[in-house]
Structure 1
Amino acid sequence: MMDLQENLQQVEANICKACENAGRKRSDVTLIAVSKTKPIEMLQTVYDLGPRDFGENKVQEMCEKMEVLPKDIRWHMIGHLQTNKVKYIIGKTELIHSVDSLHLAKEIEKQAAKQNVTVSILVEVNIAEEESKFGIHKEETISLIRQIAALPHIQILGLMTIAPFVENPEDNRTYFRQIRQLSVDIDAQNIDNVRMDILSMGMTGDYMVAIEEGATMVRVGTGIFGERHYQK
């Protein structure tokens, strides 16, 4: 059995180091434990070690885990969200990180209005313009944000990106910088109902660099839970 406590301590030490490098406070960065495909027992163990923010990729898996795990967990939807699944998570998530179209935002608005709740979201930007990834292109971000901002049951809190998978995390520094700059540019426009408080960027391979470049949320799965096994 891998030592989840050791893994978590190592991640925590790395976050502290990256914050120190950047002259930031540790409290500026939220660690999201990415628990997709991991069994309930592992999540419970990590929960018992302190983390309260967990990230899931699939709606059904998230809902099943919500049923049985402690109620004070803050659930983050970090995977691609299909419009037909939106209704299952409205009012249950801390934050939806992966909004990348007006079509999806309108469905979130519709379901949120039904329940009379306000849903916090991030807009997902495909900063490296990779064919294989979801997210909008940098140039389209501001116009999409302006459109979503008009929806009364949604609040935009920032941006999310999934940087390329690289051997050397330094290779992604330029992308993290671009996202940070984009958030500054959007913030400067003072759009109603839009805040740029959150930058969700950086995963197991590159979260230290992401923190140095301004990430306020890092999504770490393998670094905490070990390699993923997809076969059931």
Structure 2
Amino acid sequence: MSTSATPAPHPTPESVAEFRENLDAVRARIDAAAQRAGRDASEIRLLPVSKTVPSERLRLAIEAGMTGLGENKVQEVSRKAQELSDLDLHWAVIGPLQTNKARDVARYAHEFQALDRIKVAEALERRLEAEDRTLDVYVQVNTSAEEAKSGLNPDELPEFLATLPQFSRLRVRGLMTLAVHSEDVEQVRGCFQLLRQLRDDARESTPELIGPGELSMGMSGDFELAIAEGTNVVRVGQAIFGARPVLPKQK
């Protein structure tokens, strides 16, 4: 099984047929992984991650059958949601959020998968109130203990969950994590197992705080392992859209 450190090469689709072929291939992998794990594949949602993909190519992907897209950067969601406003799309923000960009999330996104700070929850609540909208949220947990990664420390999760009911516009769906970037399958598996255990603990102690208790974990290189460990959402980018260009860092 490949991990995030050793992805298979992904050709870049340039037509509806090629996008459909990639989607079918990913869905077949999801179905096979679910079958191996004794799970129902309908329990697993595929979230295509379209970061860096221009809107004109996204129109091809949408024609191929995509109804929801995930983006790491709020400015990309804002721009693409406007450029594709003639289409009925479900937008997910899956990267960290600065409070000064909460307005665009409240205006354009349907879910936010990287909630890990009270200040962000407060900013989203204010903006959602102004927009008269609600937002599905997943609490991000740093299961790999890497300093460079966003997310709560696992031991901070219970207290953080206990603060969220005050934000009536935020609807907690569950937990999200990014596994360690490693060729060691057991290290990757450990990240997924930890998130599942944290979810199970929350369900046992304070089930009213975890919502449906969904797990969002697994990307192009490791989603089959995540399915074996119980994920409900897999965030797949390159296996659908092809390898991403290496972009210069923004200053």
Q: Structure 1 residue 105 and structure 2 residue 128: aligned?
A: no
CA distance in 2 between counterparts of 1:26 and 1:64 reads 33
Q: Structure 1 residue 37 and structure 2 residue 37: aligned?
A: no
Contact 2:139 2:174 in 1 (8 A): yes
- 1:9: which partner in 2? 24
1:168 CA displacement: 4.6
Cα RMSD for the two superposed structures: 1.7
Q: Structure 1 residue 129 and structure 2 residue 145: aligned?
A: yes
Q: TM-score, normalised by structure 2?
A: 0.87
CA distance in 1 between counterparts of 2:121 and 2:246 reads 30
Unaligned runs of at least 5 residues, structure 2 = 1-11
Larger RCO of the pair (alpha carbons < 8 Å, separation 6+): 2
- 1:228: which partner in 2? 244
1:72 CA displacement: 1.8
CA distance in 1 between counterparts of 2:229 and 2:115 reads 22
- 2:131: which partner in 1? 115
Q: Structure 1 residue 64 and structure 2 residue 99: aligned?
A: no
Q: Structure 1 residue 152 and structure 2 residue 168: aligned?
A: yes
CA distance in 2 between counterparts of 1:194 and 1:87 reads 25
- 2:182: which partner in 1? 166
1:30 CA displacement: 0.7
1:192 CA displacement: 3.9
Q: Which moved more, 1:2-11 or 1:25-34?
A: 2-11
User: What amino acid sits opposite 1:36 in the alignment?
Assistant: K
CA distance in 1 between counterparts of 2:123 and 2:59 reads 32
Q: TM-score, normalised by structure 1?
A: 0.93
CA distance in 2 between counterparts of 1:9 and 1:58 reads 27
SS of residue in 2 equivalent to 1:90 = helix
User: What amino acid sits opposite 2:83 in the alignment?
Assistant: V
CA distance in 1 between counterparts of 2:185 and 2:64 reads 27
What percent identity do the matched residue pairs reach? 35
Q: Which moved more, 1:121-130 or 1:39-48?
A: 39-48
CA distance in 2 between counterparts of 1:116 and 1:74 reads 17
- 1:28: which partner in 2? 43
Say if 1:150 and 1:194 are closer, same or farther in 2 by CA, change over 3 A: farther
How many residue pairs get aligned? The number is 232
